[in-house]
Structure formats: structure tokens, C-alpha cells
């Protein structure tokens, strides 16, 4: 797959080079790097590195969270962590994503997206390696925040890298990235406990082992650290579109940017509620604890194939709103099923909610489609994700409060279903065929 993508990218770059040479005329001689034998092969290997880096990075964007969830009880006992602090710990990821993600575009402009993602993977490695052994709650939180900081900047810059290196294949590359992210999420949730047992039963080793995967993700980016753009970008030179690419957009003037940010926040709210509370809903309905965990894994693993299919379909449509409505309808059906017959139709509801959670790769795809330039994608990605993750913070906490005070799942499920309606509305608006640059200019 990577070889095919690389060859296609090479042909695209060579075609653009030939066209730009014709436009400049015979007076403008071709550059040495374009005529040097083997240059095409070098570019092909560089693109292969980018694809490998995207896949490995995506695999590392959730294990820091889902591996901790699998061992949360052991971590609480080991550190003497109170229930309130444990609740705070579950709210730290979206908070860090919002706070640190907003810095990603500025860092990318200064150092280049590849260098920032490389540093992000190194931060994840360090945080995951250190946090099990710091010996206290404060140190554990600080090391977790370091890993989440690396995840936050990488979250924002992945759509930027896809847009810059694969502008004609945004859907397929976003699908590949989203599929790898979903795979990393589900695998970490499923194998952390058995892996901990295989390593001797200590929760420290069960958490620290994921640092090895993060360290592997650093390697493909090292040769690209000094790269500030693709070969095609460098050949176009600074004369074409420099002002447009580097002048910051007034992103808050764009209605599409706001719609996409709210859509991102509401789908993240639904995802965090599902990950945090769905097993408890099934257990309260009489489903065995082991089966409830498998049902959650089924919901998460649905994102692996669909995360590859949905972005490809989305890029072929002028308006992504219909996909938003289909995913929202699946979510509403899943919540209704959890209310009416949580145990009787458990597998069906898990599947429906798994389909609904694929609003995440759709949101990432729309980020890449709603801006003209790489700089515009960077700003839109930072704005949508930072604002969205801030929106998502209260949802899981509010579900817990309603559950505790009502003594059942009627009110929490009503809240979940109620939030799905505005998610469908703003997602439909965000799916319209327009760009944030045009809206900000107006």
C-alpha cells in the first residue's frame, strides 16, 4: 500500500513540475534536484516514511488513555488515589487536548509539522515510561499530562500533514490514519490486562510497555525533522501564495469553523460517555462484567473498517451532511435500545453506537476539506479540536451526576439522545461545500 501511494505521489509531483516549468517558459531552467538521477526514488522513499509515520503516530494517540482505563482500579490502589482524583484523571485528556492543541499551529510554523509530531511522539514515550514509576499521584498526573501534550499537538497536525503531502488523497489517507487510531484504541483496551498478567501482574509494567510503541513512532519522523514542506511545496517556491499561507485567518469569523468545532465537541462528548459508561449500563442491566467489556471492545473496533470507508465516501460527496444524519440516526437508535432493552439487544446496540462513533473520522475529513491551504487546515484543526474538546469535558461528568442522583439510566440516556440532535444539526452545516478562508475574508 505504501509503495503504491509513494509512486502515485511521485507521478503527481512530476506532473506538477512539468506543468509549472511550461508556465515559466524556457528561460527558467529546471532545478538540479529535478534532473538528478534517482531524485524520484528519493521522493518515493520520503513519502513512504510519511505514510509509516502517520500510521505509527495514529496508533499511539489513544493507548495512553485506554490502557489506564483498563488498570484504573489497580492504579488507584497503588497510589492511594481518592475517587474524586480518579474522576479528575478521566477528565484530564480532553482538557489537555484543548489547552495544548491550540499551540500546534504556531509550533508548526516555526519548526515544521514533521518536527512537532516527532517531538510529540517523544513526549508520549517519555510520559508513558515515567508515569508508572514516579511514586505519587502528583507525579503520575504530571507525567500523564506530558504524554497527553504530545498527543494533543499530534492530533491537530495529522490533518495538516495529510493535506500537505497528499492533497489529492485526503479521504483515503485520513481513513488510513483514523483506522490506525481506532485500532490502537481498541487493542490497548483489550490487551493491557492480559499483557500485565504476562509481565508479572504489576500495573507499572502494564502501563510502561506502551512506551515502546511510542518510541517506534519517533523513528520515521527523524529524517523529516528539517523538512518544512513537501517537495512540491518547495518547487512552487515562495512567490506563489506565501501571504495567503502564512497570514493567520480570523477563524472565528467563519460559521463553518464554529459548526465544525461544535460538531467535533459533541461527537467527542458521545465518544467519552460511551467509553466511560457503556459497560456500566450493561452491567446494571444484568450483563456479566466480562461480556460488558467485550461489548465495549466491539463498539470501539467498529471504527477500524468504517474509519477507512467513511472518509473515502465523504471526499466524493459535495455535501457531507447526509453522512452526519445517518451516523446520528444510528446513535439515536442505539440510545433508544439501551433504554428499552439494554440486555436483550446488547450486541445490536453496541454495533449501532460503534457506527455512530465514526463521526470522529468524518470530522477529521471535513477539517481537511474545509480549508484551501495547509496553514488554513492547521488553524481550523487547532480551533475545531481545542474548542471541541473543551465542549466535551462536562458531558461524562454530567452523566455520572445524573446517574448518581436519579438511581437509573433514564435521565443519562435522555441526555445522550438529546445531545445527538444538535450534533446532527451542526454536522449538517459543517458539511456544506465551502471553505473557512472564503468565509473569513468576507
68-102 pLDDT, tens per residue?
877 877 888 888 877 667 666 767 888 888 888 88
**For 7-66, what is each residue's pLDDT tens digit?**
434 444 344 444 344 333 333 333 333 333 445 567 788 889 999 999 999 999 989 988
Q: Comparing 399 with 122, which gets the higher pLDDT?
A: 122
The answer to whether 67 and 195 are in contact (CB under 8 A) is: no
Q: Above 60 in pLDDT, residue 156?
A: yes
Please report, in angstroms and rounded to a whole number, the separation of the first and last CA atoms in the chain: 41
Q: How confident is the model at residue 160 (pLDDT cuts 50, 70, 90)?
A: confident
Tell me: pLDDT of 265 over 60.
yes
Place of cell 503531502: 165
The whole-model pTM stands at 0.73
Give the whole-angstrom CA distance, residue 435 versus residue 147.
33
What is the DSSP secondary structure assignment for residue 219, as one 8-state letter? Answer: G
Alpha-carbon gap, residue 92 to 80, rounded angstroms: 18
Instruction: From 383, 394, 385, select the one nearest 419 (Cα to Cα).
Output: 394
Q: Which cell goes with 9?
A: 505521489
pLDDT at 440 over 60: yes
Q: Which residue has better confidence, 9 or 398?
A: 398
**Does the structure show a pLDDT above 80 at 201?**
no
Least confident of 1-5, 40-44, 205-209: 1-5
What pLDDT sits at residue 238? 36
Write down the pLDDT at residue 87: 62
CB 242 within 8 Å of CB 421? no
pLDDT of residue 53: 95
Q: Which three cell numbers stand for residue 114?
A: 514533521
**pLDDT reported for residue 90:** 67
Q: How many distinct helices (H) and strands (E) make up the chain?
A: 24, 0
Distance of CA 437 to the CA centre of its chain: 23
Residue that the C-alpha cell 505519587 belongs to:
136
Distance of CA 294 to the CA centre of its chain: 23
Q: Which of 26-35, 249-258, 326-335 has the lowest mean pLDDT?
A: 26-35
Judged against a pLDDT cut of 70, whether residue 113 lies above it is answered with: yes
Q: What are the grid coordinates assigned to 235, written together?
A: 518547487
Percent of the chain whose predicted confidence (pLDDT) is above 70: 84
pLDDT in tens, 209-240: 999 999 999 999 999 887 665 444 433 333 33
- How far, in Å, CA of 87 to CA of 61, rounded? 21
Please state, in angstroms and rounded to a whole number, the distance separating the CA atoms of residues 107 and 119: 11
Amino acid at each position: 500500500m505504501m509503495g503504491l501511494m509513494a509512486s502515485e505521489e511521485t507521478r503527481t509531483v512530476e506532473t506538477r513540475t512539468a506543468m509549472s516549468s511550461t508556465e515559466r517558459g524556457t528561460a527558467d531552467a529546471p532545478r538540479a534536484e529535478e534532473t538528478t538521477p534517482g531524485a524520484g526514488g528519493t521522493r518515493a522513499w520520503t513519502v513512504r516514511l510519511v505514510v509509516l509515520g502517520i500510521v505509527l503516530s495514529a496508533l499511539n494517540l489513544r493507548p495512553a488513555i485506554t490502557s489506564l482505563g483498563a488498570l484504573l482500579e489497580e492504579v488507584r490502589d497503588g497510589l492511594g488515589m481518592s475517587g474524586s482524583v480518579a474522576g479528575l484523571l478521566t477528565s484530564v485528556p480532553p482538557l489537555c487536548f484543548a489547552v495544548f492543541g491550540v499551540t500546534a499551529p504556531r509550533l508548526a510554523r516555526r519548526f515544521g509539522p514533521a518536527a512537532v509530531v516527532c517531538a510529540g511522539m517523544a513526549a508520549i514515550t517519555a510520559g508513558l515510561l515515567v508515569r508508572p514509576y514516579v511514586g505519587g499521584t502528583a507525579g503520575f498526573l504530571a507525567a500523564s499530562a506530558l504524554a497527553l501534550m504530545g498527543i494533543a499537538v499530534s492530533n491537530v497536525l495529522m490533518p495538516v500533514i495529510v493535506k500537505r503531502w497528499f492533497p489529492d488523497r485526503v479521504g483515503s489517507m485520513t481513513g488510513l490514519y483514523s483506522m490506525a487510531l481506532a485500532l490502537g484504541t481498541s487493542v490497548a483496551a483489550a490487551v493491557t490486562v492480559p499483557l500485565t498478567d504476562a509481565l508479572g501482574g504489576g500495573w507499572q509494567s502494564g502501563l510502561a510497555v506502551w512506551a515502546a510503541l511510542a518510541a517506534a513512532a519517533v523513528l520515521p519522523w527523524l529524517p523529516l525533522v528539517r523538512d518544512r514542506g513537501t517537495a512540491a511545496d518547495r518547487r512552487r517556491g515562495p512567490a506563489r501564495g506565501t501571504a495567503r499561507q502564512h497570514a493567520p485567518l480570523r477563524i472565528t469569523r467563519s460559521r463553518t469553523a464554529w459548526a465544525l468545532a461544535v460538531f467535533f465537541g459533541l461527537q467527542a462528548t458521545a465518544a467519552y460517555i460511551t467509553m466511560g459508561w457503556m459497560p456500566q449500563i450493561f452491567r446494571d442491566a444484568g450483563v456479566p462484567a466480562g461480556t460488558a467489556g467485550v461489548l465495549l471492545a466491539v463498539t470501539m473496533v467498529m471504527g477500524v473498517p468504517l474509519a477507512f470507508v467513511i472518509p473515502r465516501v465523504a471526499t466524493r460527496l459535495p455535501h457531507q451532511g447526509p453522512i452526519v444524519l445517518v451516523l446520528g440516526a444510528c446513535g439515536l437508535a442505539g440510545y433508544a435500545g439501551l433504554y428499552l432493552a439494554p440486555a436483550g439487544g446488547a450486541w445490536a446496540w453496541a454495533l449501532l453506537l460503534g457506527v455512530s462513533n465514526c463521526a470522529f473520522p468524518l470530522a477529521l475529513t471535513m477539517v481537511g476539506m474545509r480549508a484551501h491551504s495547509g496553514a488554513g487546515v492547521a488553524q481550523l484543526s487547532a480551533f475545531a479540536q481545542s474548542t471541541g474538546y473543551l465542549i466535551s469535558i462536562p458531558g461524562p461528568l454530567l452523566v455520572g451526576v445524573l446517574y448518581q442522583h436519579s438511581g437509573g439510566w433514564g435521565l443519562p440516556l435522555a441526555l445522550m439522545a438529546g445531545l445527538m440532535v444538535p450534533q446532527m444539526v451542526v454536522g449538517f452545516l459543517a458539511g456544506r461545500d465551502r471553505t473557512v478562508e472564503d468565509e473569513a475574508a468576507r
